[in-house]
Structure 1
């Protein structure tokens, strides 16, 4: 059986719908005009400023503020129209927290970008790495908190979820134990990431040795960090393991380092000529920073001696290149000038036969 509807009620319903649509259209137009006027004024103010920070913030919040003004306009109109309020209010319970979270998220991203722009003006590489690490970790923490709170507010707009939340709050003791046990790894990673941002045992760009892997810290997240080795491999290291174990940080305070070059020579070798040539070569090299230069005999065995040639450079890359060039130069110089100093472990059968036969 079809329900009988009085045709005389149709015009009244259509009038309400038409009025609601016109009111929504007017609210959108007014909100958009207000948005354009506000950002035109703010745009002139930021144009008069020399700082790039206000421009980044203004450009990042344009879209969320525009839609927020439209949502506010529709909400104001819905206060005076029951038909529109009946449709808009259930939707607004999801839209309002989403827009607030969007604005907070864009503000965090804009602040992060502004701080990174300021870092480019700094000439101290250690300060840049320190601040970049803090910015990276804290911005990710803030983003995680914003997303978590926003999704929670949107879910609590659902009556079924709201009742479940009330039940969980009533049994908060057991719920806290269960959630704490289940989220222990995530909480440990979160706390570890915050601890790394505050104490800075390592930073983005530092050259470190972790679990036998040597490389630059390329990225630090809440649960892991990425280590880029010299052969372009990416080593993924959990954050918790970095804080629980010992590791080497070669650039904790500065990039300047001292590196060794080892030579294993015959015990009868004269050391002074080698020291003189080594110092001559290093003093004339452009990569040497003038801090450390020494040649010491660190070991003496029955069949060989060990010479440690210490040199220093301004950066890790310069030190590696200087060590390689010094090692190559000294081996070539010994081969030409002092060939008896090089250790030989091969049998010269033909020469031995000639000496035995007297030929």
Structure 2
């Protein structure tokens, strides 16, 4: 005796109450099976010391429960007299497709969490971590996009009318393909640019970039645009094609270390060697300097001032900015306190001979006016 015969006998004895009872029993069996399955996975992850065992419950518990419940209802539906071609059957099928798509998306999210655990993008030297995380983020966005598209397409194809329309369009697929290709050219190009970013990686998550004079960090890389977090907490949204078509600065492309530059403009009488000693003292007293590079040089001379350039290395862009500000502030204080005459000033020289001649001319003019 198969399931349909058992259900038929049960319904014959109990009527609608029997149908509802069978449905409830199927759901209860699905829930028990789900509970047993995840209990097994929990014990297995604990024995094998899987550090991501808790992620199974966090990401897969709810989606799999919905799938098992829907599967139980779909399996028991023929025994209950529910055909999948009917409205209720279609609803169950569409819900099952949506549940499976949701499960796939949740699995991708779980993989992302595992990746974040293995690759710390917040670490000091995180180049490899940012490379892997950037690739996965773009692939994740693309995978979710494709899963949603396929789920919608499969759900629509369960309807007979839509399936017939799809078959009839096959004859004119060439024309439709050309039309859709022109219409979606820009969108598809943007998506392909996102894939190219993932492969070539001119930018990565947490990269420090300068675009159109704006300094910021790459906060999010989406399929069609990039979100930059600027230094003043603003967000700059940049089309992803920009990073393939226009030049920009990436300060952390191969490493986070930078060399900062500070300029001072002083008088010719400035004791450069004293400034060099003070510059080295400032660097040795601050943890912002990473002790790789330091130099103070006179790089230019004009008719009024000399240009002094100071360079110092730092481990990242934030430290480099703070170090440059510190050097500039301390050196100006040092000049003001010890060599105030070395600050830029304009010289004027009065010629005594010229002054005497001017006084004599004025005196002669006054005598002539008095005689007149």
Q: TM-score range by the shorter chain?
A: 0.7 to 0.9
Q: What residue in structure 2 maps to residue 303 of structure 1? A: 304
- Flag the 1:83–1:164 CA change in 2: closer, same or farther, 3 A: closer
Q: What residue in structure 1 maps to residue 358 of structure 2? A: none
Cα distance between partner residues in 2 of 1:285 and 1:28: 67
Q: What residue in structure 2 maps to residue 25 of structure 1? A: 24
Q: What residue in structure 2 maps to residue 90 of structure 1? A: 90
- Secondary structure of the corresponding residue to residue 98 of structure 1: helix
1:58 CA displacement: 3.8
- Secondary structure of the corresponding residue to residue 219 of structure 2: strand
Q: What residue in structure 1 maps to residue 265 of structure 2? A: 264
Question: Which runs of structure 2 are paired with 1:23-62 in the superposition (5 Å)?
Answer: 23-62=22-61
Cα distance between partner residues in 2 of 1:105 and 1:188: 24
1:206 CA displacement: 1.0
Question: Which runs of structure 2 are paired with 1:193-342 in the superposition (5 Å)?
Answer: 193-342=194-343
- Secondary structure of the corresponding residue to residue 108 of structure 1: helix
Cα distance between partner residues in 1 of 2:169 and 2:246: 38
1:83 CA displacement: 4.5
In the superposition, the TM-score normalised over structure 2's length comes to: 0.83
- Secondary structure of the corresponding residue to residue 223 of structure 2: coil
Question: Which runs of structure 2 are paired with 1:90-169 in the superposition (5 Å)?
Answer: 90-120=90-120, 123=123, 124-169=125-170
- Flag the 1:270–1:68 CA change in 2: closer, same or farther, 3 A: same
- Secondary structure of the corresponding residue to residue 293 of structure 2: strand
Cα distance between partner residues in 1 of 2:147 and 2:347: 70
Cα distance between partner residues in 2 of 1:81 and 1:214: 65
Cα distance between partner residues in 2 of 1:61 and 1:26: 23
Cα distance between partner residues in 1 of 2:16 and 2:46: 44
Larger radius of gyration: 2
1:19 CA displacement: 4.0
Cα distance between partner residues in 1 of 2:346 and 2:186: 56
Contact in 1 for aligned 2:209/2:217 (Cα 8 Å): yes
1:17 CA displacement: 4.0
Contact in 2 for aligned 1:288/1:311 (Cα 8 Å): yes
Q: What residue in structure 2 maps to residue 66 of structure 1? A: 65
- Flag the 1:277–1:122 CA change in 2: closer, same or farther, 3 A: closer
1:209 CA displacement: 0.6
Contact in 2 for aligned 1:17/1:83 (Cα 8 Å): no
- Secondary structure of the corresponding residue to residue 320 of structure 1: helix
- Flag the 1:57–1:36 CA change in 2: closer, same or farther, 3 A: closer
Contact in 2 for aligned 1:32/1:66 (Cα 8 Å): yes
How many positions carry a matched residue from both structures? Answer: 336
- Secondary structure of the corresponding residue to residue 204 of structure 1: coil
Cα distance between partner residues in 1 of 2:241 and 2:213: 17
Structure 1 stretches lacking a partner, 5+ long: 1-11, 348-359
Cα distance between partner residues in 1 of 2:89 and 2:141: 32
Contact in 2 for aligned 1:35/1:66 (Cα 8 Å): yes
1:309 CA displacement: 0.4
Cα distance between partner residues in 2 of 1:346 and 1:143: 71
Cα distance between partner residues in 1 of 2:339 and 2:331: 10
1:248 CA displacement: 0.7
In the superposition, the TM-score normalised over structure 1's length comes to: 0.86
1:205 CA displacement: 0.9
Deviations 1:203-224 (A, max 9, x none): 1111111122111111111111
Q: What residue in structure 1 maps to residue 192 of structure 2? A: 191
Contact in 1 for aligned 2:258/2:317 (Cα 8 Å): yes
